[in-house]
Structure 1
Amino acid sequence: MGKNDVKINRWLSEKKRYADLFNGILFDGKQIIHAEELEPTDRKAEILLEEKTGKETAAERYRDIVMQWNQGMELAVLAVESQDKVHYAMPVRNMIYDGLTYKNQIDLMWEKHKAAEDKTTDAEYLSRYKKEDKLKPVITLVFYYGAEPWDGEKDIYGMLGLNDKYKEIDRMKKFVPNYHINLVDAARINDLEVFMTDLQLILGVLKYKNQKDEFIQYIHENQDYFSRVDKETYQVMRVFLNSEKQLKNVVREEDKEEIDMCKALEELYAEGIEQGIEQRNKELIMAKLSQGVSIDVVADFLDMSIEAVKEVVSGEFTE
């Protein structure tokens, strides 16, 4: 896990924000999950594999954030995997993580049965799972905060390359279980009003960061919040804006409990963050075109006009 993911995960792990994230994505902002119902749980997902020879091999993975959702009883496991770059194997990766989390539930229930000396049938003993046991659903959000839109597959079917060229594709799919990821493309969420905490405001920073005038206006409209930002939020904003060094140079108040980001963000843009964005777009355009991607597809990918992309290409070849 990179240091940026650590900062993002620490910030998202605040229970009110975590509940807000899941309420916004799962329930369109309806307040179903409450902070006091969440409890952090072990991030380690592991499985012990036993070969026919009796040799055991342990496989373990560490999830980014995992919390139990309880309302008098355990309702679900809510997990988040943070990504600053597209992970093209994410459907398989998440399927493994979720599978290991379900396996952990089975192991814990079996340990309780053993401790209570519960009677089991031969089939239950073989399964390490009693017939009446029930698992809690595991819901994982992939929180992607990268600069470019997510262009990876979102389910197993997409990774398999199954398409209509295969005559019996529909029949085959009946025997191939699919698995899809719950992608949160943080910079491209259309309706931020579904979030009720400062998550809404920080996601707004991501949404408008490539639009100088809209960004400055957004900061002014929410001046009460951005003039008193706590240290963890300040760190997250530096990551989201890809401006860790620049903001560190602009802000001189890191020793204070609250930081006034309004002036700092204006200075940041005045010092040329938009030039950095233009340079990144130029590099991305040329890379995509070199891969044979058409100009109209590149324009749609970057949310730019075709004319703007052509200007970048023309300027690149006349320099």
Structure 2
Amino acid sequence: MKPDTILKTFWRDNERFADLFNTVLFKGNSVLDPDELQPMISDYKLNLIQVKKCGEMKFRNNDINTVFDLVRLIYNQDYDKINNTYKNKAIDTELALVVGAVTNSQKIIDQAMRMEQEGEKMDMCKALEALEQRGFESGKKELLKEKVGKKLAKGKTVVIIADELEEEPEVIQRIVNEIQESGMEK
């Protein structure tokens, strides 16, 4: 599912839309009534906010509060606060999809879609831990690939590289094959 589709669907809810615009445009005063909203084109001047630096904005709608809070914490990489605030708290799939779309995280979107198919809500702490672990594993693999490339450039064999890096020769051979296929050999 594409991020713009997720966001359009989320903001179709008049209560959410009105709460966001009443807070941003009208300093929290209830000017827009969700029951009176109709499709229209407007040329309102918007006071844009930067989610990463917006502090503790409070909306009347809890869904918007959750989305803004999670997006802000993810942008600020404050995973401890996410863990403390959302530990053992299931997040509605729709909200997780919006957080994934806003933060441009296909992994959060994919996990939210899987949870929806299984009929479950999303645990953001577990989702972020999985993202962090995948990032760690990816970085570890890239570092190993870089080390293998440098040792290959020095003319070392797969067996010697495996011994020096304390890896199995089969693992090193796969990396050597990747390097050779991608033309990265130095």
What range describes the TM-score normalised by the shorter chain of this pair?
Answer: 0.5 to 0.7
CA displacement at 1:216 relative to structure 2: 1.6
Unaligned runs of 5+ in 1: 42-65, 67-76, 78-137, 142-181, 277-319
Q: Percent identity?
A: 22
Deviations 1:278-301 (A, max 9, x none): xxxxxxxxxxxxxxxxxxxxxxxx
Match of 1:213 in 2: 80
Match of 2:10 in 1: 11
- Give the structure with the larger strand fraction: 1
Matches within 5 A, 1:82-101: none
| CA distance in structure 2 between the aligned counterparts of 1:22 and 1:274, rounded to whole angstroms | 39
Where 2:31 maps in the other structure, the secondary structure is: coil
TM-score (norm 2): 0.58
Structure 1 residue aligned with 2:60, among 196, 212, 215?
A: 196
How many pairs are equivalent?
Answer: 134
Deviation by residue 1:115-136 (Cα, 9 ceiling, x = unmatched): xxxxxxxxxxxxxxxxxxxxxx
Shift of 1:234: 2.7
Q: Does the 8 Å CA contact 1:188/1:207 hold for their aligned counterparts?
A: yes
Structure 2 distance, partners of 1:274, 1:203, is 26
How far is 1:6 from its partner? 3.2
Given that 2:96 and 2:112 are in contact with CA atoms closer than 8 Å, whether structure 1 keeps it comes out as no
Q: CA deviation at 1:184?
A: 2.7
1:251-309 alpha-carbon deviations (Å, 9 max, x no partner): 63222555223453243354155899xxxxxxxxxxxxxxxxxxxxxxxxxxxxxxxxx
> 2-side partners of 1:186 and 1:254: how far apart?
27
Match of 1:37 in 2: 36
Whose helix fraction is larger, Structure 1's or Structure 2's?
A: 2
Q: Which residue of 2 aligns with 1:253?
A: 115
Q: Is the 8 A contact 1:250 1:267 kept in 2?
A: no
Provide the alpha-carbon RMSD of the alignment. Answer: 3.0
Change in Cα spacing, 1:8 to 1:263, as seen in structure 2 (3 Å) is same
Aligned-pair distance for 1:203? 0.5
Aligned 8 A contact 1:251 1:264 in 2: no
- The one-letter code sitting in structure 2 at the alignment partner of 1:229 is D
Of 20, 39, 50 in structure 2, the residue corresponding to residue 185 of structure 1 is 50
How much has 1:248 moved relative to structure 2? 1.9
- One-letter code aligned to 1:207: R
CA gap 1:36/1:265 in 2 versus in 1, 3 angstroms: same
TM-score by length of structure 1 reads 0.36
Deviations 1:54-107 (A, max 9, x none): xxxxxxxxxxxx4xxxxxxxxxx4xxxxxxxxxxxxxxxxxxxxxxxxxxxxxx
Q: Deviations over 1:191-224 (max 9, x none)?
A: 412x111111100111111111122223239x2x
- Residue 184 of structure 1 aligns to a residue whose secondary structure is coil
